[in-house]
A = this chain, B = another copy of it.
Amino acid sequence: MKNIVVVGLGEMGASLAKILNRQSENLVVGVDINDNSLTYAKKNNIVKQVSLELKQVAKEADIIILATPVTYIESSIRQLATLPLKKDVVITDTGSTKRDIMAVVEQVLTPKNVRFVGGHAMAGTHQSGIMQANEALYQDVPYFLIPSSISKTSDIQDVLKPINADFMSISIKKHDELMSVISDVPHILAFSLMNTATNQLGDVSNFGHFVAGGFKDTTRIAESDPKLWADVLLSNKEAILSSQSILMQQLKLFSQAIENNDSVNLMSLISSAQKSRKNLLR
């Protein structure tokens, strides 16, 4: 019997817990600061046992999955470094940025008999909370595994196999660069565009009726959770600031071409974008 502790029963954690809890060889224990979530999780067979505190269940765990927002993942790692744990316990997380988390791991966990593999699935909706628990959430989704100096990725990959994700190893730096471009900066753009629209046009009741599919699509992810995204953006600072500055240069190229009535240059900027976008879904 594998004792699996899942910390944080939001959409990501609860979905993982629910799938792992179906496997007869697992005993899944849910940890959350929200009592209602724990009651819901037990009642709906998302977990077998529950606890309000990690420290009460950590010592029995074979696997610990940290599925809270990024800042809480870091404090949980620090807390685990001070707790009695099973020899060779495997710890992993689901944080969407890896640099800060892996730095804490190397700083506080290295001397102990634990293993840690960073994890990040390209799954999740803009919804949040345990009510979104969904056993198909990880199906065929890219799931990055980030080795640390105290781990090999295969240990955690075997445990997570039932979620049917598309697992792959990646370095911290490559992961965070990739995320800044394909996820963080797109969110900042969506937020900024919504704020620009309300600044320029007033409340959405003034312009919401006129927006077409393009505006709706471009701003869809602006509905994401503020606390979660403030955490994500702050935890991937260096990569984001660098990608943002490249984006600003691109925007300036457009402004300049428009300013100069330079339709040749403008068409070439648009054509490259169009070509890449067309290849994206091939």
Q: Which residues of A contact B (CB under 8 A)?
A: 122-126, 142, 177-178, 181-183, 185-201, 203-205, 207-227, 229-231, 233-234, 237, 240-241, 243-248, 250-251, 253-255, 258-259, 261, 263, 266-267, 269-274, 276-282
Contact = CB atoms under 8 A, between A and B. Distances in A.
A183 B207 CA distance: 12
A186 B207 contact: no
Given A178-B207, A200-B177, A244 B254 contact: yes
B246 A191 contact: no
> So how many copies of this chain end up in the complex?
2
A167 B229 CA distance: 39
Given A230-B267, A243-B196, A182 B261 contact: no
Contacts of A181: 196-197, 200-201, 207
Contact of A244 (B210, B231, B251): B251
B248 A248 contact: yes
A209 B280 CA distance: 8
A200 B250 CA distance: 12
Contacts of A280: 204, 208, 211, 216, 219
A58 B243 CA distance: 53
Query: Binding site of A, secondary structure by majority: helix, strand, loop or mixed?
Result: helix
Contacts of A209: 142
Given A211-B280, A214-B186, A192 B254 contact: yes
B269 A195 contact: yes
A241 to B, nearest CB: 6
Contact of A266 (B215, B233, B261): B233
A277 to B, nearest CB: 4
B243 A200 contact: yes
Nearest to A212: B122
A254 B250 CA distance: 17
A79 B255 CA distance: 31
B267 A210 contact: no
B190 A222 contact: no
B198 A250 contact: no
Nearest to A214: B221
Which of A124, A197, A209, A215 gathers most chain B CB within 10 Å?
A197
Given A190-B218, A216-B280, A230-B263, 9 more contacts: A186-B214, A189-B193, A193-B247, A199-B246, A203-B276, A204-B276, A204-B280, A208-B282, A230-B266
Contacts of A177: 200-201
15 contacts: A122-B210, A125-B213, A177-B201, A194-B276, A196-B247, A199-B250, A216-B280, A218-B220, A218-B221, A223-B274, A225-B274, A230-B266, A231-B263, A237-B261, A241-B258
